[in-house]
Chains A and B, each alone.
Chain A
Amino acid sequence: DAKTTQPNSMESNEEEPVHLPCNHSTISGTDYIHWYRQLPSQGPEYVIHGLTSNVNNRMASLAIAEDRKSSTLILHRATLRDAAVYYCILLFGNEKLTFGTGTRLTIIP
């Protein structure tokens, strides 16, 4: 499985944008970049995914570098409910999700 690297933790003020980085320098051309998050005491939850182009959905935006070796998950206006561990995962047709340690996001009121 291709490997991703994320900061262990980040903090952000409530109602401000958050940029969560992920490095995946060994990504292959067919790997999709998925982001999941795990709120406290809950199961993982899908956030967003992309291949090459930037993507937006109701939860977040995903900015993918032109060389695809890194990506950034953007929460446009963080709320206390966004405090979670965020996982960046590469996926190509493999069924299973391989979770790393992720980034623990703390939101400061």
Chain B
Amino acid sequence: EPEVTQTPSHQVTQMGQEVILRCVPISNHLYFYWYRQILGQKVEFLVSFYNNEISEKSEIFDDQFSVERPDGSNFTLKIRSTKLEDSAMYFCASRRNRAATDTQYFGPGTRLTVL
């Protein structure tokens, strides 16, 4: 069964450094998402992406964040200058269609630790 993959599984970085989290969505999917989950808290939406554009973003997704689909397979989340509060699990998800009946498939996540 096709699955969403994410790398790395764990990223440790110093405050102020840039990080890039990588995702490979399911190959025939057209809609891509990033969510995050701070330890012990809810899963929160960050951004959705379709046709090489951001279609929706949350208040969390400020100028320090960016997303890109650099080629036909990868989908990346960049944090330009990490803060301590960016420490969280980051989940990538993809979806084939935008219909309310369509399932989002999540990756296993990247644990980001900012020191």
Contacts and interface: CB of A to CB of B under 8 A. Distances in A.
Interface of A: 30-32, 38, 42-46, 49, 87, 91-101
13 contacts: A31-B100, A32-B101, A43-B109, A44-B91, A44-B106, A95-B48, A96-B45, A96-B48, A97-B45, A97-B104, A98-B45, A99-B42, A99-B43
B100 A91 contact: yes
Interface residues of B, number: 27
Contacts of A96: 33, 45, 48, 56, 58
B107 A43 contact: yes
With a 10 A CB-CB cut-off, give which of A31, A43, A96, A101 has the most chain B CB atoms: A43
Main secondary structure of the interface of B (DSSP, over half): strand
Interface of B: 4, 31, 33, 35, 42-45, 48, 50, 55-56, 58, 91, 93, 95, 98-101, 103-109
Contacts of B44: 99
B43 A93 contact: no
Contacts of A93: 98-100
A44 B63 CA distance: 27
B37 to A, nearest CB: 9
A65 B104 CA distance: 25
